[in-house]
Structure 1
Amino acid sequence: MLSVLQLFTHSPLRNFSYIVYSDRSGEAVCIDPYDAKLILTHLKKHGLKLKSILNTHEHNDHVAGNLELKEETKALIYSHPNALGKIPGLDEVLKEGDIAFSHESETLVAWDTPGHTNCHLCFVLKNKTSHKAVFSGDTIFNAGVGNCYRGGNPSTLYNTLKNRFFSIEGETLLYPGHDYWDSNLNFSETMEPDNKEITKIRNLAEAKKETSEFLVSDFSMEKKVNPFFRLEQTTLQNNIREKNKETDFDSEKSYFLGLRRLRDHW
């Protein structure tokens, strides 16, 4: 069985890093190391040996701990082919469908997910029959999606979400690159003020904070509060049209792009 440690760094960017490890062998991989010392502490605490470092993409808040962690553990660093020359210490690339880690029937698979940047991978934990979790980097956040103004493209991001995530199983867990629950739920509420699920989930997130934990969503929860997964909702469509008065809306993609513009300037 593969297990997950979610590590939070108290920085203005509210970074998450993840350690995925085998309960039986003690081997582990780290996804998006921001604070190398924090990760090393948890590797030691749990008696784990780091096998590799996986970067979802090239932005510094996802690779800042690469070199120190590599020096201390001798782990190899893997990321997207387009990230060669952009990521410190990158050793090998992972292409669409490559297995980044495995144990018995469970695998961690690389998905090519451009949009936030054109160098973006998501890592999907799956078994033989279903997807268990998505490590989404900056492609999907709780109640939101990534921006596209640091090397990305919103049309490409829509295509990634449409083809990969709109129809993923509802029980699949979401592990994003940052904790943006508060700001994203606030934006969601401005777009769907009558959506009572937003208040329910905000209360769940606040209750977790009281015990220094974080609310982990799944895709069924995201489809209740994440406006980018709710583009068919009439109230949401009306608000998108009203706030983008000079834009024509004739497709799901046009609503997505209008919503992304609104979030960029909110």
Structure 2
Amino acid sequence: MIVERIWTGNAFRNYNYLIACPESGEALAIDPLDHEKCLNAARVRGWQITQILNTHEHHDHTGGNAAVVAATGAKVIAHHLAGGRIPGVDRGVKAGDVIKVGKTVELECLDTPGHTMCHICLRAHGDQPALFSGDTLFNAGAGNCHNGGNVEAMYATFADQIAKLPDDTRVYPGHDYIENNLRFTLAREPDNAAAQSLLPEVAGHDAASARVTTLGEEKQFNTFMRLSSPSVIAHLREQFPELPEAPDAKTVFTKLRELRNTW
């Protein structure tokens, strides 16, 4: 499996992705908003985009579909309940479904509600596991639930699915928000050494060449994966004095998301 990460450089700080089979040259485009960059990257690499996967229905992830389909004839894949929200869906997928790309690439669909209720993440197994996480998991953060989402569903996605994946899973999110997310981490957990160390590296960084994190690293500096940290809980209580002495993880997650909404 070859992964081409495409930095759009737009105001929304989107990442688009091409996943290619090295044997056949067939490629899957994930959320190809910047269709020109995606099509050009495929041409340069000699790949043929045969499929598009939309992680969810928001326009900054689906807006390039029509142009890519017009140029390549690619089939559009999305959550099986998102067809009414995404024009031209050819295949609706559910949890456990497999997307095959060329001869060698197989990607497992995870049904990951929270940011929206029709959100798909893709998991690549193998020697180098990877997660294409859309707007569910960001570097050092979690997606918001403003536009058709649900924070309780997001917590369940993190607790029941994301957190249980192998620590060496590489994380490929839909946006670059790492600098602001790390600042949020340090506001909630000022003694987080991993966040303190990483922030200078990413402050003002070039998102096009930013390194890819792993889930093991995320568990060190992503506040939404540190729900039992005494420091996180103590500082959260400063904002929410009514918080019980030993709050459950779901409550901590929900309160963190509430604070992040206005950060």
**Shared fold (TM-score, shorter chain, > 0.5):** yes
Q: Is the 8 A contact 1:124 1:131 kept in 2?
A: no
1:250 to 232, 247, 253: 247
Task: Find the counterpart in structure 1 of residue 151 from structure 2.
Answer: 154
Root-mean-square deviation (CA), in Å?
Answer: 1.7
- Report the Cα distance in structure 1 between the residues aligned to 2:144 and 2:20, rounded to whole angstroms: 30
Paired position in structure 2 for 1:187: 184
- The residue type paired with residue 15 of structure 2 is F
Contact 1:138 1:177 in 2 (8 A): yes
Structure 2 segments unaligned to the other structure (5+ residues) = none
**Map of 1:32 onto structure 2:** 31
Instruction: Trace 1:167-246 onto structure 2 (pairs within 5 A).
Output: 167-206=164-203, 209=206, 212-246=208-242
Kindly provide the CA deviation profile for residues 152-202 of structure 1, in whole angstroms up to 9, marking residues without a partner as x.
100110011111111221110000000001110111110111112112212
Aligned-residue identity in percent: 37
Residue 250 of structure 1 deviates from its aligned partner by 3.0
SS of match in other structure, 1:175: strand
TM-score when normalising by structure 1: 0.94
Task: Name the residue aligned to 1:143.
Answer: 140
Specify the alignment match of 1:59 in structure 2.
58
Q: Which amino acid aligns with 1:25?
A: S
Match runs of 1:63-142 below 5 Å: 63-102=62-101, 106-127=105-126, 132-142=129-139
Number of aligned residue pairs: 262
Q: Which residue of 2 aligns with 1:18?
A: 17
What is the Cα deviation at residue 245 of structure 1? 2.5
Question: What TM-score does the superposition give when structure 2 sets the normalisation length?
Answer: 0.95
Shift of 1:103: 5.7
Q: Deviation at 1:101? A: 2.0
Question: What secondary structure sits across from 1:97 in the alignment?
Answer: coil
SS at match of 2:155: helix
Would the aligned equivalents of 1:204 and 1:215 in 2 still touch at CA under 8 Å?
no
Amino acid aligned to 1:224:
Q
The Cα shift of 1:89 comes to 2.1
Match of 1:5 in 2: 4
Instruction: Give distance in 2, aligned partners of 1:150 and 1:161.
Output: 19
Offset of residue 204 of structure 1: 3.3
Residue equivalent to 1:46? 45
Q: Measure the CA separation in 2 of the matches of 1:235 and 1:26.
A: 48
**Structure 1 unpaired stretches of 5+:** none
Following the alignment from structure 2 to structure 1, what is the Cα–Cα distance between the partners of residues 9 and 104?
35
